[in-house]
Amino acid sequence: MLDFCFGGINMKKIKNIFQNFVGRMFGNFSKDIGIDLGTANTLVYVRDKGIVINEPSVVAVNKKTGQVLAIGKEAKKMVGKTPGHIVATRPLVDGVVSDFEVTEQMLKYFIDKVHRDGFTLFPRPRVLVGIPSDVTEVEKRAVIDAAISAGAREAYLIDEPMAAAIGARLPVQDAAGNMVVDIGGGTTDIAVISLGGVVTSRNLRIAGDEMNEDITRYCRDEFNLLIGEKTAEDVKIAIGSACAQKEKMQMPVRGRDLVTGLPKEIRLNDEQVREALSRSIRIIVNNIKSTIEETPPELLADIMQRGIILAGGGSLIRGLDRLVADQTDMPVRMMEDPLTAVVRGTGIVLEDLEALREVLVENQHEKSFI
């Protein structure tokens, strides 16, 4: 584009100066926000405040009017309990945007909620969003456009395993190997990180939601019992495990008998749930081993010393760390508070964005004011 001069004044420079001035002005009244835009839950980190929002990624919409009725916790209460014209849905599938307009509404709700207590009529924050490591350019653009449309002044992206590693305070910018396994709701990200970049990685569409499906399928096949998504998740959290536990566990499970159509209750034990989860867990473990096989030997030596780091809600399955350690012959440790690993990483990046800019995904957009 040509630089136009008027009376010896470079108009492009004036425009850039004005944009920077407006950006700084908005920045003084807005709060930089880090978002872990997950399939199951969305967490929001506000600079200098910490994590202020942790709500389900669920939106309830009236199909007749198109009106958004509820977002987050209130919407999740409606799942499976709504009349035909109201749909409680997740706008993200497998970690990527499946419904742009609903995702935009959800992000706008969270941005407005963050600024509700402050004096900000038109919040225009810088927003950093964690995304799965293997998304396409189109999917990246969808996330950025949704954030900008929701009110962000600038939108940046960061790979979730990179954000989790930073959240674990790993030295990601050093010439040393760090291995992170982030098991979320829709995706599992396995990555080896060194010098601020991902050396080798794998992204699986098998994670917490697929484990819920495994339990639902097991109850249907073994007991002719139809249960809902929330019930399956409750079973996974209460008695789910990856390997045998010292203490035996069981719990009642209620649903509909597929033979009679009437309500039915059974008792599931941890061994049965372990059998139900075995397929998904086996796939995750096998992909961890495959990623290790692709890792350069020098980095592998570092990982053997530092250990494999588990993050994300799915890593809370009992005994998963022990199973991975047994299968890989490497030390494995769980992150402190693995559920918030990614969003804490986005917060650390926001605190020093210039120094950590190299860890961001290249795709970036800045809102234009002219």
pLDDT in tens, 67-89: 888 888 888 888 777 788 888 88
Specify whether 176 is located in the same domain as 315: yes
- pLDDT greater than 70 at residue 220: yes
- Per-residue pLDDT, averaged over 251-265, amounts to 95
Specify whether 314 is located in the same domain as 188: yes
* Domains in the chain, number: 3
Residue 299 inside a domain? The answer is: yes
Specify whether 35 is located in the same domain as 141: yes
> 329: which residues sit within 8 A by CB, 6+ positions away?
none
Residue 21 inside a domain? The answer is: no
The per-residue pLDDT for 237 is 94
Domain that holds residue 186: 170-206+278-338
**Hey, is 46 helix, strand or coil?**
strand
**Which residue, chain included where needed, has tokens 């941890």?**
270
What is the C-alpha to C-alpha distance for residues 166 and 160, in angstroms, rounded to an integer? 10
Residue 96 inside a domain? The answer is: yes
What is the C-alpha to C-alpha distance for residues 118 and 125, in angstroms, rounded to an integer? 13
Torsion-angle region of 337 (φ positive above 0: left; ψ -120 to 50: alpha; else: beta): left
- pLDDT greater than 50 at residue 15: no
The per-residue pLDDT for 2 is 46
The per-residue pLDDT for 230 is 87
**pLDDT range class, residue 285, cuts 50, 70, 90:** very high
What is the C-alpha to C-alpha distance for residues 255 and 181, in angstroms, rounded to an integer? 34
* Residues paired with 55 in a beta bridge: 42
Specify whether 217 is located in the same domain as 268: yes
The CATH number of residue 333's host domain is 3.30.420.40
Residue 42 inside a domain? The answer is: yes
Pairing of strands 332-334, 308-311: parallel
Specify whether 242 is located in the same domain as 350: no
C-alpha radius of gyration, the chain, whole number: 23
Cβ–Cβ < 8 Å for 342, 317: no
**pLDDT range class, residue 366, cuts 50, 70, 90:** very low
Specify whether 249 is located in the same domain as 143: no
The per-residue pLDDT for 26 is 52
Angle formed by the axes of helices 137-149 and 100-115, nearest 10° = 40
What is the C-alpha to C-alpha distance for residues 111 and 30, in angstroms, rounded to an integer? 10
Specify whether 331 is located in the same domain as 189: yes
Among 77-91, 273-287, 291-305, 318-332, the minimum mean pLDDT is found in 77-91
CA distances from 17 to 248, 334, 365 (A): 66, 47, 18
Q: Please state, rounded to an integer, the average pLDDT across all residues of the chain.
A: 84
Specify whether 97 is located in the same domain as 44: yes
* Structure tokens, 259: 């033979």
pLDDT in tens, 101-145: 888 888 888 888 887 765 455 567 888 998 887 778 888 888 888
- pLDDT greater than 60 at residue 20: no
Residue 235 inside a domain? The answer is: yes
What is the C-alpha to C-alpha distance for residues 55 and 40, in angstroms, rounded to an integer? 9
Residue 8 inside a domain? The answer is: no
Residue 307 inside a domain? The answer is: yes
Examine the fold and report which residue of 276, 307, 325 is the final residue of a domain before the chain moves on.
Answer: 276
What is the C-alpha to C-alpha distance for residues 263 and 256, in angstroms, rounded to an integer? 5
- pLDDT greater than 60 at residue 12: no
Angle formed by the axes of helices 229-239 and 208-223, nearest 10° = 100
Residue 15 inside a domain? The answer is: no
The per-residue pLDDT for 360 is 86
Among 130-144, 207-221, 329-343, the minimum mean pLDDT is found in 130-144
Q: How far is CA 67 from the centre of its chain?
A: 26
- pLDDT greater than 60 at residue 365: no
Q: What does pTM read for this prediction?
A: 0.81
